[in-house]
Each structure stands twice: as C-alpha cells, then as structure tokens.
Amino acid sequence: MKFFSLNQNSPIVDFKQALLAGLAPDGGLYFPESFPQFSSSEISDLKNNSLPEAGFKVLCKWLEGEMEFSEIKEIVNEALNFPIPLRKVGNFFILELFHGPTMAFKDIAARSLALLMSRVLQKENKKAVILVATSGDTGGAVTHGFANVPNIKVVVLYPKGKVSKLQEEQLTRVSENVFSIEVDGVFDDCQALVKKAFVDSEFKNLNLSSANSISVGRLIPQIIYYVYAYAQMPVDTMEFVVPCGNFGNVCAGIFARKMGLPFNKFLVVNNENDSVYKYYQTGTFQAQSTVQTLSTAMDIGNPSNFARILKVFDNNHAAFKELIKVVKVSDLETIAAIKKVYAEHNYLLDPHTAVAWVAAENEKNDFTKIITSTASPVKFADSIKKYAGIEVDDSQVIAELAKNPKRKIEIKNNYVELKSTLLSLPI
C-alpha cells in the first residue's frame, strides 16, 4: 500500500514509512493512493466475527506484503483484548468503544499503533520519539499504549485547564518513557506546536513520529471498530452518528466505506466548535478559534483529518453532502440528553455521546442509527455531577492512578519554549 502527502511535495512511501514518519516531510497528511477492497463474499463473511477477527481482516488488507499475517494476528490479539459491546438503548444502538484500559475509544487504535511501531522499529534496530497533542483522550490512550514499549519515548502536549481531572491523572502518572507537557493554551495551540516540531530540521535525529490520528498508523486501526459494528448489526441499513473533534473517528468510518462496507450515511456532530458544520452549510471551510464546552475532546476549531475527508470527495461539496450530514449541538442540549437518557433508560452518557444522542434524536429518517460512544462517563464524573446532578464514582480509578508519581512540565504557548524543553529531555 502506497501513500502520498496531501501537500503534494514529498516522496510516495509505503505503510511502514508512513507509520514511522507520522507527517510527511512537507508537513502534509499521508493519504492512500488507493483503497484496499473487501469483496462481497468477504463482507458477507464478516458477520458475527469477533473483534480480533475483524481487526485481523482489516489490517491484512492494508499491510499485505509488508508484515507477516502471523505477526498481524499476534498484534490484534494483544491490542484488542477488551470488549466493544453494541447495546440497544431506546431507538438507537450504542457502540461502546470505551472498555479499554483508559476508558476511551482511542485505546483501540493507540494500542494497535504501539505494537505495530514496536515491531517495525525492533526489526530495523531503530528508536523513535512519539510527539502527540491531545484534547484529553488521545494522550491517555497513547501514554498507556506506549508505556514501557521498547525503543520508543513519548512526549504528549495537552492544554492547561482543558482536560478533566481523570484525564490529567492518566496523562501525568505514567511510565518513565513518557513526558507530559502542559501548554498554557488550547488544543489547537498544542497541535500547531507539534506540527512545527515535525518540520524542524533540528529534530531529524530524534526520528519523530505521531500517535495522533494525523498518523495513518493511528487512523487505519480505527477502521476496525466500524467493520466490527457492521459484523454485529442485525440489519444492513445503517447510519453512524459520530461526535467529532479532530475528525479521525469519522474519517476511519469513511475509509471503511471506501473499502466496500455498505454504510448508508454518516451523521457528523459538532459542538460549538462548528467549523465543519459551517462548511456543510456554505461549502467553505474556515478554521476558527476554539470555544470551551462540556464535550472537551470535541473542542477543536481546525480539525486535521478534515483535509483527508475533503480529499475523499475531491473537494466536491455536493458529493460530501450526499454521504455526510453535519449538525451542531449545544451544551444545554447535551446536559438535557444526559438527564433524559438516565431517567428514561437508566443509561449514563458521557458528554460526547450525549452530543451524538441529541443529533440522532433530531434526525428523522429510516436508517438504523449507531452512535459511536467515545468515552466512559467515569472520565467526566465532575462535569456530569456539576451540570446533570448525577453522581459518578471515579474514586477507585483515580486512587489506582495515584499509586504512580505525577510528572509534568509546564510551558507557555510558545514554540521556542517547546523546542528548548524537547532538547533538554533525555530522549
């Protein structure tokens, strides 16, 4: 499988090269030259596959000729060793993607990425530094997934005061190969700093790589849970309802459809950070400043993966709208949904899943709706109690994390300061 840079000024690379590089040398995102295909018989054979079986079939399509199938099987069996229940709640199916070790959907891809990278690096006798920005959940999943992985150090940037208490504990109480940096800014600032570092020639010797969904090594494993959801569904007409931040989640779903999965629609949900909603309405995309909301992982005004989605549709706004509908949901609607679903179904939504629930309720069509539930409500215990008045016990999880020493570095939103910090670390 070959990949090219969306900035069109870098060499074409194979999967392993794209995996280790993260971003292309010209700062662009890697995009596949073509999409591997599931035949109609292969799609039929997916029905009732286990999660590792679905993962194996997806990764084999992308890695054929670059990694032994026996290695891929070992990776998916180790990475995907937790359940992804598909629950019927009211009129909707909820795909619970939060049963991994850090209680967020990003565990699925981060664990797969860590094992893929570790295999490749050890074979080539190389080391790498993972540099990643997080709005909350990515960082926790990456720091856990890469903890104590040989040949890899991790540097994670997160915005000061913009992550939950539990998220910060997961970011800062980890193994000694992980360095957490708190940036006095918002997620988009963290992401911009990371992108600058990737094109800084002084860091070439560090062999920087990414674990954000800007990396194809993170994005492609996310296809797995869409394929797995299809395998479990009792019907073939389905619309995925996806709360979006950096747009890696829905991008993976669109990639799954490009591989042949018969998904009917994607209902994409913004909170007040609605740059993609405005694109849907007008046909013009413009990045915007970040607004803080209850669904913090969605507080992104310039989502990186949107460039990949535009490429899928060749920047054709009409083609985009045929497959994707974009709506926006407010904090007030989010809080009301958490209360309502808990009262009516005894089921507790985290704020991001609540955003998706509101969108699903407002969407009137005949497609069976699958909400991608991206995080456990335990991760947002404080805000759920404060705004919805519902107690969520996170004490046991925090107590377990507190057994590890807290380690973090604080910097201003300044690239010179980040650069000097990176150069001073034992990486």
Arithmetic mean of pLDDT, 284-290: 95
Strands 30-32 and 2-5: antiparallel
Please state which of the four CATH numbers 3.90.76.10, 3.30.365.10, 3.40.50.1100, 3.40.50.300 is assigned to the domain occupying 79-102+216-388: 3.40.50.1100
- pLDDT for 55: 98
Q: Nearest-CA neighbor of 21 among 122, 131, 115?
A: 131
- When pLDDT is cut at 50, 70 and 90, the band that residue 368 belongs to is very high
Is the pLDDT score of 375 beyond 80? Answer: yes
> 336: burial class by Cβ within 10 Å (0-12, 13-18, 19+)?
middle
Are the C-beta atoms of residues 16 and 63 closer than 8 Å to each other? no
- pLDDT for 183: 98
DSSP string, 77-113: HHHT-S---EEEETTEEEEE---STTSBTHHHHHHHH
- When pLDDT is cut at 50, 70 and 90, the band that residue 272 belongs to is very high
- pLDDT for 205: 85
- pLDDT tens for each residue of 221-245: 999 999 999 999 988 899 999 999 9
Name the average pLDDT for the chain: 95
Interior angle at CA 134, CA 132 and CA 140, nearest 5: 90
Task: Report the C-alpha gap between 427 and 423 in whole angstroms.
Answer: 8
User: In the chain, count of helices (H) and strands (E)?
Assistant: 18, 14
> 402: burial class by Cβ within 10 Å (0-12, 13-18, 19+)?
exposed
Arithmetic mean of pLDDT, 349-353: 98
Is the pLDDT score of 136 beyond 80? Answer: no
pTM: 0.92
Annotated domain spans of the chain: 79-102+216-388
- pLDDT for 337: 99
- pLDDT for 210: 84
Is the pLDDT score of 48 beyond 90? Answer: no
Cα dist. 322→95, 255, 285, 301 in Å?
24, 16, 17, 24
- pLDDT tens for each residue of 87-127: 999 999 999 999 999 999 999 999 999 999 999 999 999 99
- pLDDT for 165: 87
Question: How many Cα atoms sit within 13 Å of 165 on the Cβ side?
Answer: 14
Arithmetic mean of pLDDT, 136-144: 87
| Maximum distance among all Cα pairs of the chain, rounded to whole angstroms | 57
